[in-house]
Amino acid sequence: MLRPSLRKSNQMRPVSMETGVNKWAEGSCLIKMGGTQVLCTATVDLNQPLWKRQQNKTGGWVTAEYSMLPRANAARKGRDALSKDHRSAEISRLIGRALRSVVDMDKLGKHTITIDCDVIQGDGGTRCASITGGFVALCLAVRWLIDQGRIHENPIQEHVAAISAGLWNGELVLDLDYDEDCVAELDSNFVVGEDGRFIEIQATGEQHPFDVAQINALMQMAADGCKKLIDLQKQVLD
C-alpha cells in the first residue's frame, strides 16, 4: 500500500536545517522534516547548574526543554495546559540524555548549555527532529564558547541524530508523519551516534506485540536514516 505521502518504505521526508535564525541565542537551528518544524536554540550559562556546585562536581552540563506552541497541531492547546504537559517533560529528558551522551562534560568546563526545542508545527517525529536540530544548535554554542576563549577544546565527541520508524498497515516504514503515526501498529524512535551505535531506543507495540526480526529491521532503517541526517548536519555546520 502506498504511504499517504507516496514515499517508499525507507524514504525520509524532505529535511532542511537553517542556522543563525535567532540573533540572541549562542546557537540556533530551524529544522524542518516534512511538515514538522522545530526551532532549536542554545543558551550558554557561564556557570555550572546549582546541583553541581552544591555537590562540588567538576565539569559542565547540557540540558533541554521541549514544548509545542499552542497552534502547533490541528487543535489549539492552551499555554496553561502546555506547562503541565507530562509528555513534554518526558521528551525534554530524552533530548537532554541524547545530547549529553556525546559531550565530554569536563572539556565543557564550568558551563551549562540549555537547548530549547519549540515545535512550531507538528506533523510527526517532533522529538526526533528536536534531537537532530538541537545537536546543531549545541555545536554552534560550543563554537561560541571556543571563540570567546572560555574553553580550548571541543567537548563534542561525535554527532548524534534521531529518527522514527514503525509498522504501518503491515509494512515497516521510516520517518512516520502524523497520518501514519496516529494509526501505527508499532511506533519507535531511535537515537543514533555518528559511529552507528544506538544511544536510545523507544519502541511500543501500539496494537500488538512485535518480534525481534521487526525491531532489527527497523534498527537498520533508522541507522541508515540517521547517517543521512548526520551528513546533513555536517554540511550545515561546515
Does residue 8 fall inside a structural domain? no
Does residue 3 fall inside a structural domain? no
Q: What total of structural domains would you count in the chain?
A: 1
pLDDT tens for the 238 residues of the chain, in order: 789 899 999 999 999 999 999 999 999 999 999 999 999 999 999 999 999 999 999 999 999 999 999 889 888 988 777 666 888 999 999 999 999 999 999 999 999 999 999 999 999 999 999 999 999 999 999 999 999 999 999 999 999 999 999 999 999 999 999 999 999 999 999 999 999 999 999 999 888 899 999 999 999 999 999 999 999 999 999 9
Does residue 2 fall inside a structural domain? no
Q: Contact 166/188 with Cβ under 8 angstroms? A: yes
For residue 83, give the CATH number of its domain. Answer: 3.30.230.70
Q: How far apart are CA 213 and CA 160, in angstroms?
A: 25
Does residue 30 fall inside a structural domain? yes
pLDDT of residue 192: 98
Q: Please return the burial class of 209, using the count of CB atoms within 10 Å of its CB with bins 0-12, 13-18 and 19+.
A: exposed
21 half-sphere exposure, CB direction, 13 A CA radius = 19
pLDDT of residue 74: 84
Domain that holds residue 194: 15-237
